[in-house]
Amino acid sequence: MNGSEAYGALVRPKLAQLLELLHLDIVFEKASGCHLWPSGSDVPILDLVGGYGTLLFGHNHPQLVSAAIDYLSASRPVHVQGSLKPLTGELAARLGRGQYHVLFASSGAEAVEAALKHVLLERRGPIIALEGAFHGKTLGALQLTANPAYRDGFETGLPVVRVPANDTAALRDAFARHRPAALFLELIQGEGGVIPLSPEFVARARELCTDAALVVDECQTGLGRTGTFLACEQYGLSPDLVILSKALGGGIAKLAALLIRSERWRPELSMIHTSTYADDDLSSAVALRVLDLLTDDVLADCAATGRWLRERLGELAAQYPEVVRSVRGAGLMLGIELAKPSCGFLLPLLGEQLGFVVAGYLYHRHRIRIAPTLSSPLTLRLQPPVVTPRHELKRFIEAMRDVCQTLAAGDVTRLTRYFLPASMPRSEAVRDGWMSYRQERPTTCPRVGWLFHLNDADDLLSVEPGLAALSAAERAEYLRHLERQIVPIVISSTDVSLRKGRRVRFDAILLPLTARRIRELLDAGETRWLRGLVQHGIDVAHERGCRLVSLGQYTSIAMRNGATVRPGPIGVTTGNAYAVALAVEAIERAVPDLRQCTVAVVGAAGNIGAAVAKFLDGCCGGMTLIGRDTPGSLARMRRLQIPAARISTRAADCRSAQVVVVSVSSAVPIIRAEHLAPGAFVCDLSVPAGVDAAGRPDVDVIRGGVARLPGDEDLDIPGFPLGKGLAFACMAEGMLLALEDAADRTFTGNITPYHVRRIADLASRHGLELGEYKTHNGLGVIHASA
């Protein structure tokens, strides 16, 4: 591995996967001011991420670089613990302004830890923190951070009372119920979505903090970012403790400071809270130069530029309210909250990840770098350096106008075309959640779920027509790029009436993979993620109240005919038994003189092929079993114990049969026109098609059997036009077993003639019968046959 690969694999694998998805796995080799240059490129990228707030003066500001170089060039010591540090002392005096003592740290989270220690030295009691807050990820600071995704598994028992931001009544109640040691605030919640606190809320907080310490975390808002030296000044607030970081180091030094009001100062903390890297004069030399640069003119520029940006973005929000929900913040710390997409297919599928997708679009189409906030990913953070030229900010406004127009038009192809070429997905984790394509009415009917997948990438066009702008090959590549981001999609939900007034709610649950891609994963032995996705689809069916789920198409093959499904309360079936029953019925209807015909079963080593062979044994004039030329395949065909059957591994041996049944799992047809006898009748049960008889009008090919529903309902599955009143066998089998309350695994594993006869009896009892021949396997048109 080179250094970049090692970083992705050994340091930040999850981040590397996200960057790879967005094609933002880039190495930057040069930085200056508000611009970055990718490795090997002389075209600059406008950087509005701003080092998450550290780069108020931009990358490599010459005066800040000079401060570090001058210090090091003078051979001055960096680490001499246990000595006096004059530059650190000068920095403390300038920050404290005669009102605060100062402790230094190397990160904002460490300064929060120090603040917690000081608070608890003063007084024991719970800490009040706000919903949406972010105070860092070290163990103590993490207790104050609101996002449960970061805290889960790391609770320490520190009593923390959480109050909604800007809810003065809840804050007053928290103080009345508890005797808090402190209240921690961010005046603008940065990672929580750039949420400013209201002046009324902050004023009430100051009033309530008589004994309790009021701690204001200004890691992001402080040192000019919001247009004043501290954001506290805009609220007329004098906190007890202030936490500073980010901009303090000028984007060069890793430095933070905890300011403690002198009358509350506990000097013992300065001995019990120490750090190897705190108090170094090198970092202090840089920070002192930061304070030199932070003039009144610079502060005014931050405020004026922020107002101009917010006004321009507000105009966009007013013009595109369906795209931009809100523009918030102050100075050069702004948030642009995008509306969660609700129209189309792929945009809602992206869901909360839309902010990341927009960030990728801005980078690839407009050469602008921006990022969402950590705990509110639909909110784009905007923290440009104060040195960013106005013409570059105007370019950003026009780029955001393009984003708004693209989202308003639902133009998913334009927004995400940069996904191509596809990257190789590496994660084996299945994404949580699921989505519903349509709203549904409540029901008291028993529910059954049906898992299915796309036959090929062209099937996307039925739900996302805009992808017609991509070629078929590009659509397949596009899907592959997104596959580790997909979730199960409830594509339709329909009540189906059966005999004697019985009804069942049928949920069609799509896994947006193609048959070819599933076959590729199976052939490569990459089954862990695939099976995890199918299992997630089964869990979604259970969560929706389904009694049973039917594994359709390749989802059954992926789960080894249901054998690898995790044990649980929901019933599972494969649909294979009714598929065999309908196929046999279709063959018998189409070939009345079957006893005079030789039948070739291609794929006889598989579950469906074996069941068809056993069922037709004795009903035909002769039989040829055809399978792969592997020891396992040959052994399975011999175990069928059909003494008169001929065993073969050659597709050409189909020419000796008048009836050919094909049940194979192959990405391409393996039975072609030249393999078939004149006038042959072919029943293809494969997904995708196992037969290509093009140019042979004498050959009749059907795609298995289709059941007719007694209530004549339209299952209304987008891109899956079955025709009114029709259902595929795997769909119908699930409906029948759900009505029988057969929430078990009886119809998984190997299918026998017993299973076929039993499901056929259930179909007769509930009014299902052979409808039309299925002459297209997967999403497509069903044509009637004799």
Residue 342: pLDDT band with limits 50, 70, 90: confident
Asked if 143 and 162 count as a contact pair (C-beta separation under 8 A), the reply is: no
pLDDT tops 60 at residue 199: yes
Confidence (pLDDT) at 91: 98
pTM: 0.88
Residue 781: pLDDT band with limits 50, 70, 90: very low
DSSP per residue over 610-679, as a string? HHHHHHHTTTSSEEEEE--SSHHHHHHHHTT--TT-EEE--GGGGGG-SEEEE----SS--EEGGGS-TT
For residue 33, the 8-state DSSP code is B
Q: Which of 692, 687, 709, 679 is nearest to 606 (CA)?
A: 687
User: Long-range pairs for 86-93 at CB < 8 Å and ≥24 separation?
Assistant: 86/281, 87/281, 87/284, 87/285, 87/288, 88/279, 88/280, 88/281, 88/284, 90/284, 90/288, 91/257, 91/284, 91/287, 91/288, 91/291, 92/257
Domain boundaries, the chain: 3-56+298-419, 83-293
**Average pLDDT of the residues of the chain:** 93
- pLDDT 10s digits, 216-264: 999 999 999 999 999 999 999 999 999 999 999 999 999 999 999 999 9
Question: What's the mean pLDDT in 662-677?
Answer: 90
**pLDDT exceeding 90 applies to what percent of the chain?**
80
With a CB cutoff of 8 Å and minimum separation 6, the contacts of 540 are 434, 449, 488, 490, 509
Residue 784: pLDDT band with limits 50, 70, 90: very low
Q: Which of 648, 633, 637, 645 is nearest to 610 (CA)?
A: 637
Q: Which of 192, 229, 216, 237 is nearest to 112 (CA)?
A: 216
CA pair distance 202, 200, nearest whole angstrom: 6
pLDDT tops 60 at residue 786: no
Please state, in angstroms and as integers, the Cα–Cα distance from residue 625 to each residue in 96, 344, 580, 661, 673, following that order. Answer: 88, 47, 16, 10, 19
Confidence (pLDDT) at 610: 93
CA pair distance 8, 575, nearest whole angstrom: 43
With a CB cutoff of 8 Å and minimum separation 6, the contacts of 546 are 447, 448, 449, 507, 570, 738
Strands 35-38 and 28-32: antiparallel
Residue with tokens 């923290």: 383
Q: Which of 250, 314, 335, 245 is nearest to 48 (CA)?
A: 335
CA pair distance 419, 22, nearest whole angstrom: 7
Asked if 624 and 603 count as a contact pair (C-beta separation under 8 A), the reply is: no
Q: Which of 757, 759, 756, 748 is nearest to 572 (CA)?
A: 748
Residue with tokens 């929430």: 743
Residue 347: pLDDT band with limits 50, 70, 90: confident
CA pair distance 617, 624, nearest whole angstrom: 11
- Angle subtended by helix axes 472-482 and 515-523, to nearest 10: 60
What CATH number is given for 83-293 in this structure?
3.40.640.10
Across 503-507, 581-585, 770-774, which has the greatest mean pLDDT?
503-507
Beta bridge partners of 257: 104, 244
Sign for the CA dihedral angle at 320, 363, 24, 472 comes to: positive
CA pair distance 651, 665, nearest whole angstrom: 14
Confidence (pLDDT) at 446: 94
Confidence (pLDDT) at 459: 87
Q: 3-56+298-419, superfamily in CATH?
A: Aspartate Aminotransferase, domain 1 (3.90.1150.10)
CA pair distance 572, 11, nearest whole angstrom: 41
Higher pLDDT, 689 or 481: 481
